[in-house]
Structure 1
Amino acid sequence: MSTISAQLVKELRERSGAGMMECKKALVENNGDIDAAMEWLRKSGLAKADKKASRVAAEGRIVAAQGAGKAVLVEINCETDFVAKDASFLKFSDAVADVALSSGAADIDTLKAAAYPGASNVEEAAKALVATIGEKIDVRRMARVESDGVIGSYIHGGRIGVLVSLKGGSEELAKGIAMHVAAMNPPHIRAEDVPAEFIAKEKDIALSQMTEKDKAKPAEILEKIIAGKINKIVSEVTLLGQPYVLDTNVTVGEALKKEGADVASVARLAVGEGIEKVQEDYLAEVAKAMQV
């Protein structure tokens, strides 16, 4: 067959999950026979993994593993929510979390190079999974906490993961704070962590919103009014200043103080953060690629 239509390439891509040009080549090699092309793609095995490297994987799962004095979070991405629930993907992601914990990996490159059961390393195991499920798999990010204190972890729906390390306190409190961070995602822990530039900007905004009558008040009174507004804003953007989600009658800081505890560190990962999801017109994409 001299001409391979865009529609035929699109159909094979949807059936196989392989890349456009790979599908076109398979059809050319098999004279347009889509079933034979499908078999040809299956026999290509791990070659499919590299072809999917440029595709967007913004779905997936956050997994956690915890041991004595240490805990990890790992974000593992795939292309669709369907695959994120697949048994093979779930098994792989749980195993990667265990490897992350036991290997001592502190960054994603070290984790990818770490030994994985039944494969040379995590990266190669991910490629093998690509060949099985037909989607791009990306072991994208990880966070590690090691502490002599208390560590709490919380996973919300497999899509948000939080680790909280406390100085003092209890495991119950640490998990509660982790749940709060999952829900509220405060950008800062303490008031002193808030950038001076942010505070200066908020002061300008507060001043611009004041009436002429307020601006005419003595400087010390005006300063107190603005300080009150800034303190409220700072409380809203800091973990310790926010009302505690498990007991809104107290702030997180007050809940910690009751147990003589303080926050040592916080790590939070959410699936797909910072990844732009592209809505594709696949038929137009195929036709465009075939003209190259």
Structure 2
Amino acid sequence: MAITAAMVKELRNSTGAGMMDAKKALTENNGDMEAAVDWLRTKGLAKAAKKADRVAAEGLVGVIVEGNKGVAVEVNSETDFVAKNADFQKLVRDFTAAAVNAGDLEALKAADLGGKSVDETLTGAVATIGENLTLRRMATLEGDAVAAYVHNAAADGLGKIGVLVAMKGADSGIGKQLAMHIAATNPLSLSEATMDPELLARELQVQTAKALEENTEAAKPKPEHVITNNIIPGRMKKYLAENTLLGQAFVINPDLTVEQAAKEAGVEITGFVRMAVGEGIEKKEEDFAAEVAKMNG
């Protein structure tokens, strides 16, 4: 497979690797982007890269909690200018309120909103606002208590990152702190038990290859059983502590894990949602001058 400059640039942007390293990684893996990322990590040339870090589309996330139920909704726009528009913000707020009684995204699109469906309302807003708008996704969370938080708030309940956290037990105030922690750290899962098995297997493969390669290059190689029984399990333990919510150090009090902090507050975390605007969507890069020129025809 031919390796293009655009592919090299994409890999460099997502991993921070040098140009020649990125090109070699793609060449060694026949252009497979994910395999190239793993190759770079094995060589110690890249950070752990998440697809979700490639934030692209503009818009807003709306969150609302009613009783023991919380919902988060993402509505995308083409530019950040529209996200600051009062009409667009009202649209997102209305969609979020409607989502409380909708079971899924399709039900939300069909829900009544002042005599029109949400989908019809969105179509009308495209004509009024003058940009392509997308109702991309929604998520629902229930528990004895549900807390919410929006980061980079544009208005009450609207922001660039929306978080919901569900708890078993009465929320004495820790709920918002937990939600803020989730916004800041972006955990991959609640616990090891809920983490994607394929993701765990992939990480184990990367850490195993990395440890074996480092040992081969070491001046005094360690016995194989030390690599297998100590180093690799230790690295996987660190990975889980950094990427599972319950295992992370609590940002409010790093001496405690999130699980310990919740327990001290008398609650058990049963689930969370972290929704960031545009995560996972590739965005075509365009300089500001070109964007202004485009807007002016």
On whether the aligned pair clears a TM of 0.5, the verdict is yes
The equivalent residue for 1:152 is 147
Q: Is the 8 A contact 2:59 2:77 kept in 1?
A: yes
The equivalent residue for 2:71 is 72
> What amino acid is aligned across from residue 164 of structure 1 in structure 2?
V
The equivalent residue for 1:123 is 119
The equivalent residue for 1:37 is none
Match of 2:131 among 124, 131, 135: 135
SS in 2 for 1:159: strand
The equivalent residue for 1:5 is none
Deviations, residues 209-251 of structure 1 (Å, cap 9, x unaligned): 234635237x368613432232112211111111111122221
Can you give the 5+ residue segments of structure 1 that lack an aligned partner in the other structure? Answer: 1-56, 286-292
- CA 1:67/1:123 → structure 2, altered by over 3 Å: closer, same or farther? same
Q: Is the 8 A contact 1:191 1:235 kept in 2?
A: no
Q: Quick one: distance in 1 between partners of 2:219 and 2:172?
A: 52
Instruction: Report the TM-score when normalising by structure 1.
Output: 0.69
- 2:202 counterpart of 1:198: yes
Kindly report which structure 2 residues correspond to 1:144-223, keeping only aligned pairs within 5 A, or say none: 144-147=140-143, 149-157=144-152, 158-168=159-169, 170-194=171-195, 195=197, 196-201=200-205, 202-210=207-215, 211=218, 213-216=220-223, 219=225, 223=229
Q: Quick one: distance in 1 between partners of 2:284 and 2:227?
A: 52
> What amino acid is aligned across from residue 113 of structure 1 in structure 2?
A
Question: Aligned residues, how many?
Answer: 224
> What amino acid is aligned across from residue 175 of structure 2 in structure 1?
A
The equivalent residue for 1:24 is none
Can you give the 5+ residue segments of structure 2 that lack an aligned partner in the other structure? Answer: 1-55, 153-158
- CA 1:140/1:226 → structure 2, altered by over 3 Å: closer, same or farther? closer
- CA 1:256/1:109 → structure 2, altered by over 3 Å: closer, same or farther? same
The equivalent residue for 2:99 is 100
- 2:238 counterpart of 1:240: no
Q: Quick one: distance in 1 between partners of 2:91 and 2:236?
A: 47
Q: Quick one: distance in 2 between partners of 1:279 and 1:208?
A: 37
The equivalent residue for 2:58 is 59
Q: Quick one: distance in 2 between partners of 1:261 and 1:212?
A: 50
- 2:268 counterpart of 1:271: no
Q: Quick one: distance in 1 between partners of 2:268 and 2:87?
A: 40
Q: Quick one: distance in 2 between partners of 1:167 and 1:270?
A: 25
Q: Quick one: distance in 2 between partners of 1:94 and 1:221?
A: 53
Give the root-mean-square deviation of aligned CA atoms: 2.5
- Could you tell me how far 1:206 is from its partner in structure 2? 2.7
Q: Is the 8 A contact 1:168 1:259 kept in 2?
A: no
Q: Quick one: distance in 2 between partners of 1:279 and 1:222?
A: 44
Instruction: Report the TM-score when normalising by structure 2.
Output: 0.68
Paired-residue identity, %: 40
Q: Give the ranges of 4+ consecutive aligned residues of structure 1 lying more than 4 Å apart after TM superposition.
A: none
Q: Is the 8 A contact 2:211 2:227 kept in 1?
A: no
SS in 2 for 1:213: coil
- 2:86 counterpart of 1:87: yes
- Could you tell me how far 1:122 is from its partner in structure 2? 0.7
- Could you tell me how far 1:168 is from its partner in structure 2? 2.3
Q: Quick one: distance in 1 between partners of 2:82 and 2:228?
A: 57
SS in 2 for 1:215: coil
Deviations, residues 112-169 of structure 1 (Å, cap 9, x unaligned): 110002x41111111221221111111111011122x111111111100111101125
SS in 2 for 1:229: helix
Q: Quick one: distance in 2 between partners of 1:212 and 1:277?
A: 45
> What amino acid is aligned across from residue 234 of structure 2 in structure 1?
G
- Could you tell me how far 1:180 is from its partner in structure 2? 1.0
Deviations, residues 237-278 of structure 1 (Å, cap 9, x unaligned): 111111111122221122122134322111111111122222
Q: Quick one: distance in 1 between partners of 2:183 and 2:73?
A: 15
> What amino acid is aligned across from residue 61 of structure 1 in structure 2?
L
Structure having the higher Rg: 1
